[in-house]
Amino acid sequence: MRLSKKERQKVLKATIDETPFITDEELAKKFNVSIQTIRLDRLELSIPELRERIKDVAKAKLNEEVKSLQIEEIIGDIVDLEMEKSAISIFDVKKEHVFTRNPIARGHHLFAQANSLAVALLDEELALTAKANVKFTRQVRENERVVAKAKVIANDEERHRTTVLVQSYVGQELAFIGEFEMYRPNKWKKAGSINENSN
């Protein structure tokens, strides 16, 4: 059953507030209307397009906070960042990211998105990936959007290691999961808790 324009716009606004990374295509499917209708609804509601919503949320904050990487070295767009706790990035799979013979994304792009997010999350000028345990759980295709969610799950002061869990989704489906053990040689130095002879 299709909603009236007024009802649709009300639900549309609530949906975007709740899921800011949702695309016009996904909204069109959800409301069973054309993409053009969704765009017109957004214009009437003064809701910017997805790319602008992402830039507004992230740009200034990232330039100030990310120490371990240059912004252009991060794969995907970071849209939420709480240093040493959690972060979210999105990556749009385009033609250059897929195999020539089929429209499936090459795995190293998903790995790079997750790994660079794990590095950017750490409040550190030097953070290196010591170990990664990864699993690909779903094929990702051209024109799909991958949302990677990272969180710090453990710190080991003796070994100067932080473990970051990254889970990447296409819509509600888990596509990739990675556990990254990050080596941080300068972390905890000031506290005097580093054992220089530790492995």
Provide the 3-class DSSP secondary structure of residue 157: coil
Rounded to an integer, what distance in angstroms lies between the CA atom of residue 124 and that of residue 190? 13
Could you please state the CATH topology (level 3) that the domain comprising 58-183 is classified under: Thiol Ester Dehydrase; Chain A (3.10.129)
Residues 87-144 pLDDT 10s? 899 999 999 999 999 999 999 999 999 999 999 888 888 888 999 999 999 999 999 9
Q: Is the dihedral of CA 187, 192, 197, 199 positive or negative?
A: negative
Q: Where in the chain is the domain with CATH 3.10.129.10?
A: 58-183
Q: Quick count: other Cβ atoms within 10 Å of Cβ 174?
A: 13
Nearest residue to 168 (alpha-carbon basis) of 127, 119, 118, 124: 118
CATH of 5-47, one of 1.10.10.10, 2.60.120.10, 1.20.1250.20, 1.10.3720.10: 1.10.10.10
Instruction: Please name the residue ranges forming H helices in the chain.
Output: 5-18, 24-31, 35-45, 50-65, 107-120
Which region among 4-13, 49-58, 102-111 has the lowest average model confidence (pLDDT)? Answer: 49-58
Give per-residue burial for 22-31: e unless 16+ CB within 10 Å, then b. Answer: bbbebbbeeb
> How large is the average pLDDT for residues 56-81?
65
Close Cβ partners of 37 (under 8 Å, ≥ 6 residues apart) = 28, 31
More confident call, 67 vs 117? 117
Cα–chain center distance at 172:
14
Q: What is the four-CA torsion angle of 73, 112, 104, 139, rounded to 10 degrees?
A: -140
Q: Where in the chain is the domain with CATH 1.10.10.10?
A: 5-47
Rounded to an integer, what distance in angstroms lies between the CA atom of residue 6 and that of residue 34? 16
What residues are paired with 147 via a beta bridge? 90, 169
pTM for the full predicted model: 0.66
DSSP state of 83: T
> Which phi and psi angles does 107 have, rounded to 5°?
-60, -30
Residues 145-166 pLDDT 10s? 999 999 999 999 999 999 999 9
Rounded to an integer, what distance in angstroms lies between the CA atom of residue 17 and that of residue 183? 37
| Amino acid occupying residue 123 | D
